[in-house]
Amino acid sequence: MKLICDHMLGSLAKWLRILGFDTLYPDMTTNDDQVLDIAKAQKRLLITRDKELLIRGKKIQLDVLGIQTTDLDKQLAQVLTRIPVDRIQVLTRCTLCNTPLISVEKKSTKTYVPPKVFESRDQFWYCSVCNKYYWMGTHYENMIEKINKLSNKNIQ
Ligand SMILES: [Zn+2]
């Protein structure tokens, strides 16, 4: 399932990327026409808080999900009732640019990650576009717990 969030839903888009969904987040220079074109051409679910955009999306028979709340947890819960999370895909995508992460050997990360992290973690991932390393930090468990609470079924 591929997604596109409108420019009011930046935090949600970042979370959806953490959960592994291919999520586009167009910046302010992308107008509504372009957002609709991209959603249509790439068959993406349009997630929007913009009523007008929602109506326009429905008119051209896009897959749309209208969000009313500004509360991130409620936004996530709403998306997760529509599209379930697959545990395997969590942490497979760069939160900054949406690029799929590459699994890298621990020894190659030594000079790039904090020493404490290097000592305590065994799995590392890398975004070749942002030149950024990822690992399952202390936030990871909290994040899984939060998602479990928000979605109906556990994602262990
Ligand atoms: Zn990236």
Tell me the pLDDT tens digit for each residue of 85-106. Answer: 887 888 899 999 999 999 999 9
What is the per-residue pLDDT for 155? 55
User: Structural domain tally of the chain?
Assistant: 2
CB neighbourhood size of 113 (10 A): 16
CA of 5 to the centre of ligand 1 (A): 17
Closest CA to 92 of 25, 16, 33, 156: 16
> Residue 48 pLDDT more than 90?
yes
**C-alpha of residue 55 to centroid of ligand 1, in Å:** 32
Closest CA to 108 of 138, 128, 129, 137: 128
Q: What is the pLDDT, as a whole number, of residue 129?
A: 97
pLDDT at 144: 79
Structure tokens at 119: 């000592």
136-149 average pLDDT score: 78
Residues 6+ apart with CB under 8 A from 38: 4, 24, 26, 30, 44
* Ligand 1 center to 56 CA (angstroms): 31
Question: How far is C-alpha 43 from the geometric centre of its chain's CA atoms?
Answer: 17
Taking residues 39-57, what's their average pLDDT? 97
- Residues ≥6 apart with Cβ < 8 Å to 74: none
Residue 111 lies inside a defined structural domain of this protein: yes
Sort strands 45-48 and 102-104 into parallel, antiparallel or unpaired: unpaired
Interval between CA 100 and ligand 1 midpoint (Å): 8
- Cα angle 142-147-151, degrees, rounded to a multiple of 5: 155
Say if residue 63 is in the same domain as residue 110. Answer: no
What is the distance in A from the centroid of ligand 1 to the CA of 103?
14
Distance 51 CA to ligand 1 centre (A): 30
Contact 6, 53 (CB under 8 A): yes
Domain membership flag for residue 29: yes
Is the pLDDT higher at 42 or at 139?
42
What residue numbers bound the domain in which 81 lies?
Answer: 2-89
Mean pLDDT, rounded, of the chain: 91
Q: Do 112 and 78 have their domain in common? A: no
Q: Per-residue confidence at 126, pLDDT binned at 50, 70, 90? A: very high
Record the pTM.
0.86
- Residue 95 counted as domain residue: no
Ligand 1 centroid vs 111 CA: distance in angstroms? 19
